[in-house]
């Protein structure tokens, strides 16, 4: 056990011994034979550093200890929760909020509510105990404010391909408000205000409460269930859809064991929000999804609430939103929403999560083949067919340096070249077979990811579209280009270069933020939770990092 852990344990044990079996009082609590304010203030100054060291970071997240220290220094170590020898009532509200942190998918154990309650139960606290309580409550307040605003966990420590983390400092402002009451009241303003977050949070609470009150109703695996079937498995199916919210409770009499049209429609709704083929029949895949436990769904929602907290507190009105798990791009431009299908990176070449700024586009682009793709994809094709480059409109150069000499690809013995010895630069000239198609949309980034056209239009007929080498292929790039240049001189310039077939770089009239995001749980248009395939297996990484069940303790109900 570390020294800091021992200090924390000592604090807990001391408070437990002093509290006996008392409970926090309601109403204003006046301290019996109160110490003087100067005594409390002196103790606060002594306890700040000691207590901050005792309450060390948990679960790999750095607690905002420096902010707590700064807040006390700014107020010359006056206590935050005690004024005029009176305990501020808002500390009880704070405890209630901390105990309800599970409703955001956070763990109450991280915010020391039980320890604060033990201090509040003391009948004749010493100046040191009052100081300890004051500092611990402030640590809990700051930690929860930070986690609610920015997320508790560092995303890149969980997944190196998750490069989107937009911390803000709003939570820190809370510590410098005039009173503890103002600080506690400010907490509710720190959670993400996105409707998506708010709807998901409500469903998290629903699944949490339901899993504590009821057992999961599972559908026994077996043969396909379809309209007209009867039997106990149909009754199980109906009961499960009621439990999950796809069938609303009704007093109308119904034959529970009959697969009627109402049940079929409800099953279709379930299938659509789980990205299954919505045929209204319960086959093995649908039954497998139906039988995912409520507790597992609650945890999945909790992971996605944390992902929302990694996003900026306010999203730009004009933005491009590439929803990787939905295989779509949503263009929020000038008060209008336009969506289209996309193809994303394969599981071997995952499209990373990050934010960029789209600044220009290229018409009739030349494709400079990334070195990794050249090694892993192009070289095997050349070793099988030395004329591959000629057939598909590629040029090859001696190196990646400026002014490198163009080579005759048919004169190179590709079979003798090893993957780790590849030094050539390959470029595919603009034509109808070019991998970039007619458009390339650029938001410069270290990953060399961009949006582009593609000649492989047939892939958009697939339900799951993870086929690219990491970049995003657009279903309708012409419409995309029109939307981002609408009403500008660049729009006319784009049309001219396309007509001429010329390779041109066109700066955008307005730079547009681009988000590449990844959610395995989202709210659909009807306000129901939509659970998606975790194509890049990022949820297990979240489970390992978060390491807890986002549920209240059953005994506390």
Q: Which residues are catalytic, by number?
A: 452, 471
319-323 and 504-517 beta bridge pairing: parallel
Give φ, ψ of 376 to 5 degrees.
Answer: -85, -30
Burial of 169 (0-12, 13-18, 19+ CB in 10 A): exposed
Question: Please, are residues 175 and 183 in contact by the beta-carbon 8 Å criterion?
Answer: yes
Residue 317 neighbours by CB distance under 10 Å: 9
For residue 515, give both structure tokens. 């988000």
**CA–CA separation, 218 vs 334, rounded Å?**
47
Q: 3-class SS at 407?
A: strand
Instruction: Name the DSSP letter for residue 20.
Output: T
Measured distance CA(310)–CA(546) in Å, rounded: 14
Return the DSSP state at 352: P
Interatomic CA distance for residues 312 and 515, integer angstroms: 11
CA distance 468 to 472: 7
Q: What is the DSSP string of 224-267?
A: PB-TT-BSHHHHHHHHHHHHTTSS----S---TTB--HHHHHHH
555 φ/ψ angles, rounded to the nearest 5 degrees: -65, -20
* Sheet-wide strand order for 29-30: 29-30, 86-87, 82-83
CA distance 470 to 147: 31
Q: State the DSSP H helix or E strand holding residue 484, giving kind and residue range, or none if neither.
A: helix 477-485
User: Tokens 């306010």 correspond to what residue?
Assistant: 314
Secondary element (H or E) of residue 499: helix 489-500
How many angstroms from the chain centroid is the CA of residue 424? 39
Strands 439-442 and 529-531, by their bridges, are unpaired
Percent of the chain that is helix, strand, coil (3-state, to 5): 45, 15, 40
- Distance between CA 96 and CA 552 in Å, rounded? 13
């Amino acid at each position: 056990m570390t020294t800091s852990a021992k200090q924390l344990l000592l604090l807990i044990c001391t408070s437990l011994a002093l509290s006996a079996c008392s409970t926090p009082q309601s109403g204003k609590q006046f301290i019996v034979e109160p110490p003087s304010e100067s005594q409390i203030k002196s103790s606060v100054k002594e306890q700040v550093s000691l207590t901050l060291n005792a309450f060390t970071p948990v679960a790999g997240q750095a607690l905002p200890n420096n902010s707590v220290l700064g807040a006390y220094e700014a107020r010359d170590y006056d206590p935050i929760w005690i004024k005029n020898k009176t305990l501020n009532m808002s500390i009880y509200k704070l405890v209630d909020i901390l105990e309800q942190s599970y409703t955001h998918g956070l763990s109450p154990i991280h915010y020391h509510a039980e320890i604060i309650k033990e201090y509040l139960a003391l009948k004749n606290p010493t100046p040191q105990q009052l100081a300890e309580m004051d500092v611990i409550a402030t640590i809990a307040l700051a930690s929860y404010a930070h986690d609610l605003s920015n997320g508790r966990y560092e995303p890149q420590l969980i997944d190196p391909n998750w490069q989107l983390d937009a911390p803000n400092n709003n939570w820190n402002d809370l510590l410098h408000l005039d009173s503890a009451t103002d600080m506690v009241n400010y907490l509710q303003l720190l959670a993400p205000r996105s409707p998506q977050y708010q709807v998901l949070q409500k469903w998290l609470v629903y699944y949490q409460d339901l899993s504590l009150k009821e057992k999961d109703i599972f559908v026994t695996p077996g043969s396909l269930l379809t309209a007209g079937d009867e039997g106990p498995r149909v009754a199980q199916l109906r009961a499960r859809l009621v439990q999950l919210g796809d069938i609303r409770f009704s007093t109308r009499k119904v034959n529970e064991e009959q697969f009627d049209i109402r049940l079929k429609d409800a099953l279709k709704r379930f299938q659509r929000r789980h990205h299954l083929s919505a045929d209204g029949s319960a086959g093995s895949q649908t039954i497998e999804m139906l039988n995912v436990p409520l507790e597992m769904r609650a945890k999945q929602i909790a992971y996605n609430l944390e992902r929302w907290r990694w996003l900026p507190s306010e999203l730009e009105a004009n933005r491009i939103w590439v929803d990787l798990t939905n295989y779509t791009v949503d263009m929020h431009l000038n008060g209008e929403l336009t969506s289209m299908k996309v193809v994303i990176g394969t599981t071997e070449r995952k499209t990373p999560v990050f934010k960029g700024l789209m600044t220009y586009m290229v018409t009739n682009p030349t494709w400079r083949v990334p070195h990794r793709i050249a090694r892993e994809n192009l070289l095997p094709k050349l070793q099988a067919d030395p004329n591959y480059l000629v057939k598909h409109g590629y040029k090859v150069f001696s190196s990646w340096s400026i002014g490198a000499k163009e080579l005759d690809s048919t004169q190179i013995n590709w079979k003798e070249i090893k993957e780790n010895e590849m030094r050539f630069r390959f470029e595919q000239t603009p034509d109808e077979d070019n991998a970039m198609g007619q458009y390339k949309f650029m938001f410069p980034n270290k990953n060399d990811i961009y949006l582009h056209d593609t000649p492989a239009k047939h892939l958009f007929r697939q339900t799951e579209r993870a086929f690219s080498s990491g970049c995003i292929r657009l279903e309708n790039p012409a419409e995309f280009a029109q939307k981002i240049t609408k009403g500008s001189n660049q729009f006319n310039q784009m049309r001219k270069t396309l007509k001429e077939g010329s390779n041109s770089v066109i700066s955008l009239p307005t730079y547009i933020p681009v988000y590449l995001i990844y959610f395995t749980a989202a709210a659909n248009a009807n306000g129901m939770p939509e659970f998606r395939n975790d194509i890049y297996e990022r949820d297990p990484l979240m489970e390992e990092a978060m390491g807890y069940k986002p549920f209240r303790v059953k005994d506390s109900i």
